Amino acid sequence: MQLSAVGIADFAFVSLYQAGAINRLPELPFDVFDSNKVNAAPDAYKMGAPDAAISTLLYAAGMVLATWGGTAASGRKPVHDVALGAVIAGNAGGAVYYISKMIFRQERACPYCIVGAAINIVSAVIIAPTVAKAFKKLFEK
Summarize pLDDT for 18-77 with one digit per residue, the tens.
Answer: 999 999 999 999 999 999 999 999 888 988 999 999 999 999 999 999 999 888 788 889
Domains of the chain and any CATH numbers: 2-139 (1.20.1440.130)
Q: Please state, in angstroms and rounded to a whole number, the distance separating the CA atoms of residues 93 and 11.
A: 17
Q: Please state, in angstroms and rounded to a whole number, the distance separating the CA atoms of residues 138 and 50.
A: 36
pTM for this entry: 0.89
Q: Please state, in angstroms and rounded to a whole number, the distance separating the CA atoms of residues 140 and 138.
A: 6
Cα 96 vs. chain centroid, distance in angstroms? 10
pLDDT (tens digit, 9 = 90+) per residue, 97-132? 999 988 888 889 999 999 999 999 999 999 999 999
Say how many C-beta atoms besides its own lie within 10 A of residue 43's C-beta.
Answer: 15
Q: Are 129 and 65 in contact (CB under 8 A)?
A: no
Please state the length of the chain: 141
